Amino acid sequence: MLLAEALRHSFGAVRALDDVSFGLQPGQTLAVFGPNGAGKTTLLKVLAGLIRPQRGRAQVDGGRRAIGWIGHQPQLYGQLTVRENLRFWASLYDVPESEFLLRKDSLLVRLGLQDHEHRRVSELSRGLVQRAAIARALIHDPRVLLLDEPFTGLDRMAAEELRELLSEDAAEGRASVLVTHNVDEGAELATHIAFMRAGRFAHFAPRAGRGPQQVSEDYRNAIA
């Protein structure tokens, strides 16, 4: 479903990706942990096709249409309502009107946004904006989700709800790559764990029942 082969990319003298390879099957979630500047966001942008790697290749079954992106920036227009934003993005993904209405209603209920559908995004709290961003990313029913620090700015309850939603999606067969610098946030969601440093995977393995504490300890050992 998602394949990265020997990815390499540099920005000037800085090597952001150095020989990164992995593959994900439907329902699998890879959590990539690393300090700031490790190359995590570059990895996601390469997987999304926003950056063309200088070497190697990234392939997502279904191409760009199959990708949903959730970042710490919501990619929403503040002057538009939640509904208008969702309709705009659905139109770009050629989602038919009848499907759009079904998915929009289902997502708004699932994310607790049904009372905010006609409110402008600029009027929403940070937590509600992030929920609307999740709805935007899922409105075209992507098979692969790319998540860049998605818990940034969320309160504990909203973060827990996002974790639940991602778990449900994984159970339905969606593959995800989650990058974050905070080990406590994503470990439980992952089927696979990677630790990234200076553009390389210092560790890549199935989670194999490791809890957040164990993952945290492994992270410290691998990155230190």
Residue 44: closest CA among 17, 63, 80: 17
Among 21, 54, 59, 73, binds another protein (CB under 8 A): 73
Distances from the Cα of 27 to the Cα of 66, 70, 104, angstroms:
14, 17, 23
Listing DSSP states for 138-166 in one string gives HTT--SEEEEESTTTT--HHHHHHHHHHH
Minimum Å gap between C-beta 222 and another protein is: 29
Under the binding rule (CB under 8 A), the answer on residue 61 touching another protein is no
Minimum Å gap between C-beta 206 and another protein is: 29
Among 38, 67, 190, 196, binds another protein (CB under 8 A): 67
CB closer to another protein out of 56 and 212? 56
Under the binding rule (CB under 8 A), the answer on residue 59 touching another protein is no
The C-alpha torsion from 43 through 19 and 199 to 218, rounded to 10°, is 100
Instruction: Look up residue 210 and give its DSSP letter.
Output: -
Which two tokens mark 141? 């029913």
CB closer to another protein out of 87 and 163? 87
Among 38, 51, 166, 178, binds another protein (CB under 8 A): 51
Size of the site for another protein (CB under 8 A): 29
CB 69 within 8 A of CB 46: no
Residues forming the site for another protein (CB under 8 A): 45, 48-52, 63-65, 67, 69, 71, 73-80, 84, 88-89, 91-94, 120, 136
